[in-house]
């Protein structure tokens, strides 16, 4: 079970420490505490104390500096601590490695920018994310808004319609399309 926002494999992250502990005992090693993985700990701590979460992430990255999920969790910690420049830098690095959650998060951050260059980059990132995660309607919704801001109404409409196709039960997708059509004088 994959949570796409954080790339948390919920069942695996819960069971893996327990299984590892059982394997150690069977191999004749001493049993250790069967707690959470470092990644899970960071995700839990970021909600209550981003400084503690950042410390756990940094410590875990010392042993595994190339772990994409830990680096992503660290970037989330940095965002919580309002260290946006550092977080965006880390999101960019991860985006270059085609790490889907980082691509989506970076696209969302750049979409909020007033800079036209960053808006174009956000569109490219949303498009890239939709190729990696074609069933995530949120990205198509962001892409539709970015297309609208970039004055590309045909592409915006197609993206709004894709949101409805992917998630027909979500009324916000329908409302966004209706709002878009009204603004386009296409009642």
pLDDT band with cut points at 50, 70 and 90 for residue 46: confident
Q: What are phi and psi of 26, to 5 degrees?
A: -65, -30
pLDDT value for 1 = 58
Dig out the tokens for 12 from the structure: 């695996």
Q: What are phi and psi of 125, to 5 degrees?
A: -70, -45
DSSP for residue 2? E
Q: Is the pLDDT of residue 68 over 70?
A: yes
Q: Is the pLDDT of residue 107 over 90?
A: yes
pLDDT value for 36 = 72
Kindly state the average pLDDT of the residues 84-96: 93
- pLDDT single digits (tens) 158-182: 999 999 999 999 999 999 999 999 9
pLDDT value for 165 = 96
pLDDT band with cut points at 50, 70 and 90 for residue 18: low
- Do residues 75 and 50 lie in contact, with contact meaning Cβ atoms separated by under 8 Å? no
- Mean pLDDT (the chain, rounded): 87
pTM for this prediction: 0.81
Counts for the chain of helices (H) and strands (E), in that order: 10, 2
pLDDT band with cut points at 50, 70 and 90 for residue 23: confident
């Amino acid at each position: 079970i994959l949570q796409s926002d954080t790339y948390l494999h919920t069942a695996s992250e819960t069971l893996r420490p327990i299984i590892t502990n059982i394997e150690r005992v069977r191999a004749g090693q001493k049993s250790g505490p069967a707690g959470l993985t470092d990644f899970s700990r960071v995700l839990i701590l970021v909600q209550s104390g981003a400084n503690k979460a950042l410390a756990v992430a940094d410590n875990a990255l010392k042993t595994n500096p190339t772990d994409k999920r830990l680096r992503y969790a660290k970037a989330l910690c940095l965002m919580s601590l309002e260290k946006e420049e550092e977080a965006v830098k880390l999101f960019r690095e991860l985006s270059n490695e085609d790490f889907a959650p980082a691509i989506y998060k970076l696209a969302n951050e750049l979409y909020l920018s007033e800079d036209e260059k960053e808006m174009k980059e956000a569109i490219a990132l949303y498009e890239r994310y939709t190729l990696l995660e074609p069933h995530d309607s949120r990205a198509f919704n962001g892409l539709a808004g970015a297309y609208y801001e970039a004055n590309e109404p045909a592409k915006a409409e197609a993206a709004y319609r894709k949101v409805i196709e992917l998630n027909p039960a979500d009324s916000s997708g329908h409302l966004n399309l209706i709002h878009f059509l009204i603004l386009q004088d296409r009642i």
